[in-house]
Amino acid sequence: MRSVRKFCQPLLVMSRGLFVAPIEFAAADVSPRQLYNAPINGGGGPGKIFMSEHHGYMKALKCRECGREYPLAANHVCEFDFGPLEVVYDYERIKKSLTKAAVQSRPQTMWRYRELLPVANDPTVGLQVGFTPLVKADRLARKLGLRELWIKNDTVNYPTLSFKDRVVSVALSRSKELGFDTVACASTGNLANSVSANAASAGLKSYVFIPHDLEQGKILNSLIYGAKVIGIKGHYDEVNRLCAEIAGKFAWAFVNVNMRPYYAEGSKSMAYEIAEQYGWRIPRHTVVPMASGSLLTKIQKGYQEFIKLGLVSETKYAVHGAQATGCSPISAAQKAGLDFFKPVKPNTIAKSLAIGTPADGFYALRVMRDTGAAAEDVTDDEIRDAIKLLAETEGIFAETAGGVTVGVARKLIASGKIPRDDSAVLCVTGNGLKTLDAVDGYLGKPREIKPSLREFEALLAQEEKANV
Amino acid sequence: MPKKVRIPTPLRKLTNNEELVEVNAATIGEAIAELQSRYPGIQERLVDEKGEVRRFVNVYVNEEDIRFLKNKQTPLKDGDEISIIPAIAGG
């Protein structure tokens, strides 16, 4: 408490309990971002670690580019080089608390790894999220010609059927800790759904900003929760740019703008669950879809943290990246051996991955290089084929991003980048019911008959004939 | 007629909290130099040691990313609006 006051005092208008109330700052005619942006120790260089019992296991926010540290506020960008800020933890303390036995004694949700998630107190939003099934996919493995294959099935994540519920439960829990009453996001759809639903259940107001031409399912799946849905006439990168400007003006918790350091950490829970469900081991290959590239970098971070904490043994593994050919700035760069990417204008049915200027692209490329991994991309037709293949072999209906992951895995196996006698986990991150438009017209139609046994038998006979 | 530059929150300390400033430069590179002459220190925030726009800084001319145009050589005409925005993630 004392250290919170120390950092906030010159800025404080009013404090509510432990946490600063950002809405009240707005009245002071200064945006909260400005207030929050002050680096620790006046920004003269990497400062002292910001520490307080009241921040749980978090120590500070730290710039990934220059290492300058900032208070644990609603702030995502280093004011010196615009580098992204990331949460720093007290791993020594975490190690004492987060043992295998402790984890296994807790409820089966993503919050069983609570020490590694950036909230100061117990979470308040999304307590049921995560611990989705890790499915052994033998039939798909045979089709793809791989010895062993697993699907991390986030198509059934709670409550909105995509991995975004992980990041949103963290972001909204932290937003409440920081005193916000309105949350917002820029989204390609799944994030909007999750913010809308989780905000509704938490009693928070929400604004979600989406490209206006999203799949109908994803639009309705936000509106139903009473969120204010704003369709922007442009592609996601333009939505993102607008939201960066809006976030500078309004005192809202933008989950993927000013709350991004907390939000992004939620993705690590997918890696923890994979490692635990795989028998406290890291799989040799993990295939991850890439939009901004954030999930891939957080899967890697999750594995690294488990190694650091001694929860799994160090082993050789690769985290491969999957994109749609119609929006493949990261995979194109990886395949060309570059450590930077060229932004693109997206044109793909995988709208949830359609980010042409991927903010974590540099770091995703680095992870793939460091783990000896590959990237690949697939066309719209290959995406549809892969969605169908996953459904027909494993009974899992994934959205387009899942088709991208399965399609890319198929290519990596065929090219030998995932050797046939190895084992792989595919991250399937969203539910096919949300992107019905993508497969509509490609699956044939039900055949209609009168309610007559004779007509049905005739239909079967016809079918047998056709199959001969 | 000058061109308008929209200054993002993290840089407004350098511009005396000005959100919108005007420049007369003919290219993005010149605009950055002009900003530097008026607001010393702003250039190193925007470009790296090699003189390239930093990788987490996005610059837009009339809402088009300069990486789709001619980067620092992107020409400016009267009335253009330039936005400087930190890269952000999403999904």
**pLDDT tens sequence across B43-85:** 999 999 888 898 888 899 998 889 889 999 999 999 999 999 8
Residue A326 maps to a domain: yes
What pLDDT score was predicted for residue B85? 84
Lowest-confidence pick of A48-57, A102-111, A185-194, A278-287: A48-57
What's the pLDDT band for B90 if we cut at 50, 70, 90? low
Cβ-Cβ contacts under 8 Å, A33 against chain B: 9-10
pLDDT of A10 strictly over 60: no
A186 CA to chain B: closest CA distance, Å?
Answer: 7
Cβ-Cβ contacts under 8 Å, A37 against chain B: 9-10
Judged by CB atoms closer than 8 Å, whether chains meet at A81 and B58 is answered as: no
Mean pLDDT of A96-118: 98
Beta pairing class for A375-378 and A423-428: unpaired
A398, A428 contact by CB (below 8 A): yes
Is residue A163 classed as helix, strand or coil in its secondary structure? Answer: coil
Q: Do A144 and A196 have their domain in common?
A: no
What pLDDT score was predicted for residue A308? 98
Q: Do A155 and A168 have their domain in common?
A: no
Total tally of structural domains belonging to chain A: 3
Q: Is B10 in the A-facing interface, judged by CB distances under 8 Å?
A: yes
What pLDDT score was predicted for residue A381? 98
B24 CA to chain A: closest CA distance, Å?
Answer: 24
What's the whole-model pTM score? 0.87
Average pLDDT, chain A: 89
Q: Which of A54, A89, A124 is the last residue of a domain?
A: A89
pLDDT of A4 strictly over 70: no
> Residue A276 maps to which CATH number?
3.40.50.1100
Q: Do A340 and A220 have their domain in common?
A: no
Residue A110 maps to a domain: no
Q: Do A231 and A334 have their domain in common?
A: no
Q: Do A299 and A423 have their domain in common?
A: yes
Judged by CB atoms closer than 8 Å, whether chains meet at B90 and A256 is answered as: yes
Q: Do A246 and A200 have their domain in common?
A: yes
Q: Do A246 and A330 have their domain in common?
A: no
Judged by CB atoms closer than 8 Å, whether chains meet at B88 and A187 is answered as: no
Mean pLDDT of A401-421: 98
What pLDDT score was predicted for residue A124? 97
What pLDDT score was predicted for residue B55? 84
What pLDDT score was predicted for residue A1? 36
Q: Which of A260, A281, A297 is the last residue of a domain?
A: A260
Element (H, E) at A165: helix A164-177
Cα B43 to Cα A392: distance, rounded to the nearest angstrom:
56
Judged by CB atoms closer than 8 Å, whether chains meet at B9 and A37 is answered as: yes
Q: Do A229 and A333 have their domain in common?
A: no
> What pLDDT digit, counting tens, does each position of A300-348 carry?
999 999 999 999 999 999 999 999 999 999 999 999 999 888 889 999 9
Cα A92 to Cα A111: distance, rounded to the nearest angstrom:
19
pLDDT of A97 strictly over 90: yes
Q: Is A42 left (phi over 0), alpha (psi -120 to 50) or beta?
A: left
A400, A407 contact by CB (below 8 A): no
Identify the domain containing residue A280 by its residue range: 134-160+267-439
A35 CA to chain B: closest CA distance, Å?
Answer: 10
What's the pLDDT band for A284 if we cut at 50, 70, 90? very high
Q: Do A308 and A392 have their domain in common?
A: yes
pLDDT of A86 strictly over 90: yes
Residue A114 maps to a domain: no
Residues 27-66 of B with CB under 8 A from A: 45, 54-58, 60, 63, 65
Cβ-Cβ contacts under 8 Å, B83 against chain A: 241, 245
What pLDDT score was predicted for residue A117? 98
Residue of A11, A30, A77 best to disrupt the B interface, most CBs of B under 10 A: A77
What's the pLDDT band for A68 if we cut at 50, 70, 90? very high
Beta pairing class for A318-324 and A285-289: parallel
pLDDT of A85 strictly over 80: yes
Residue A118's contacts (CB-CB under 8 Å, 6 or more residues apart) are A56, A58, A87, A89, A170, A174, A261, A262, A265
Residue A141 maps to a domain: yes
CA distance to A50, A86, A136, B13, per residue, from A22 (Å): 20, 21, 46, 20
Judged by CB atoms closer than 8 Å, whether chains meet at B91 and A244 is answered as: no
What pLDDT score was predicted for residue B89? 57
What's the pLDDT band for A17 if we cut at 50, 70, 90? very low
Tokens for A314, please give them: 């160090």
Judged by CB atoms closer than 8 Å, whether chains meet at B90 and A188 is answered as: yes
Q: Do A301 and A274 have their domain in common?
A: yes
Residue A345 maps to a domain: yes
pLDDT of B12 strictly over 70: yes
Judged by CB atoms closer than 8 Å, whether chains meet at A256 and B57 is answered as: no
Residue A250 maps to a domain: yes
Residue A464 maps to a domain: no
Q: Do A240 and A382 have their domain in common?
A: no
Residue of A80, A81, A249, A255 best to disrupt the B interface, most CBs of B under 10 A: A81
Domain annotation for chain B: domains and CATH numbers = 3-86 (3.10.20.30)
Cα A183 to Cα A107: distance, rounded to the nearest angstrom:
27
Q: Do A256 and A388 have their domain in common?
A: no
